[in-house]
Amino acid sequence: MIEIRAVSHQIAGTPILHDITTRLPEGRLTALIGPNGAGKSTLLRLVGRLEPLQAGRISVAGHDIAATPTDRLAQVMAILGQQTLIASRLRLAELVAFGRWPHHKGRPKAADRAHVDEAIRTFALGPLAHRFMDELSGGQAQRAHIAMAFAQDTEWLLLDEPLNNLDMSHARALMARLRALVDQQGRGVAVVLHEVNYAAAWADHIIALKDGRILAEGAPDAVLTEDLLSRLYDAPIAVGRHQGRPLVLHHA
Ligand SMILES: Nc1ncnc2c1ncn2[C@@H]1O[C@H](COP(=O)(O)OP(=O)(O)O)[C@@H](O)[C@H]1O
Ligand SMILES: [Mg+2]
């Protein structure tokens, strides 16, 4: 479980998150949704300790993030931020291999190489493994960063808008892979999703953020209602059904 208690956050004196208290259940796929600027990335970055906590407490799988050494925390959770720096003179396979660093600390063993190979295979990156990162398309680079986070092989995986730059088929493949991590390996996944239908189709649990506050949270059927989504996005939104799950429509 990821437990977030009374977390508030300001940037340059402007309040960004207001007294957030919530839980992300273990062994489940949680989607964070909400309009641009809602605070989704800020919340995920605080959990992933990419940003220092100003107020409140966060624990990940029982580890208080304010009191856990970085190398230990990196064995518990992997985070892929929304903006990924592309180290251009790095080959794709070298980037993915960095995901193993918290485990081997500079002395990779056979098991580390196996994790890297598996992550490269999983994201169909084999033919690109020897390319430099600046020789890849946006979607290919995005998949390489996701593969690096997978290779880290942690109890929790945090991804901020991982579907950016991915076509429908790669987006679907990624969501299916995240489901497999949850269903077959009991991992916890937290993912910021821009397109709510991916949350409708794949998430177990949804947290809807607006203006730095939680507007709703719960199962997709409970959160993805016309009333809630229309208030969340300040736009008229219809919700139909497809294969027993909500289907969000915004073409009106
Ligand atoms: N470095 C920054 N400086 C000033 N404001 C920021 C900074 N980063 C984020 N913000 C502001 O914080 C709010 C929440 O941003 P963010 O967490 O990125 O939202 P989301 O991911 O939901 O789109 C936004 O209003 C954004 O403008
Ligand atoms: Mg964001």
The closest ligand to the CA of 43 turns out to be 1
Distance 113 CA to ligand 2 centre (A): 32
Report whether residue 83 contacts ligand 1, using a CB cutoff of 6 Å: no
Which ligand 1 atom lies nearest to the CA of residue 82? 21
3-state secondary structure the chain: CEEEEEEEEEECCEEEEEEEEEEECCCCEEEEECCCCCCHHHHHHHHCCCCCCCEEEEEECCEECCCCCHHHHHHHEEEECCCCCCCCCCEHHHHHHHCCHHHHCCCCCHHHHHHHHHHHHHCCCHHHCCCEHHHCCHHHHHHHHHHHHHHCCCCEEEEECCCCCCCHHHHHHHHHHHHHHHHHHCCEEEEECCCHHHHHHHCCEEEEEECCEEEEEECHHHHCCHHHHHHHHCCCCEEEEECCEEEEECCC
pLDDT in tens, the chain (252 residues): 999 999 999 999 999 999 999 999 999 999 999 999 999 999 999 999 999 999 999 999 999 999 999 989 999 999 998 876 667 789 999 999 999 998 998 898 899 999 999 999 999 999 999 999 999 998 999 999 999 999 999 999 999 999 988 999 999 999 999 999 999 999 999 999 999 999 999 999 999 999 999 999 999 999 999 999 999 999 999 999 999 999 999 876
Using most ligand atoms within 8 A of CB, pick from 10, 18, 20, 42 the residue to mutate for ligand 1.
42
> What is the structure's pLDDT at 88?
75
> What is the structure's pLDDT at 86?
67
Domain 2-249, second-level architecture:
3-Layer(aba) Sandwich (3.40)
> What is the structure's pLDDT at 157?
97
* Domain ranges across the chain: 2-249
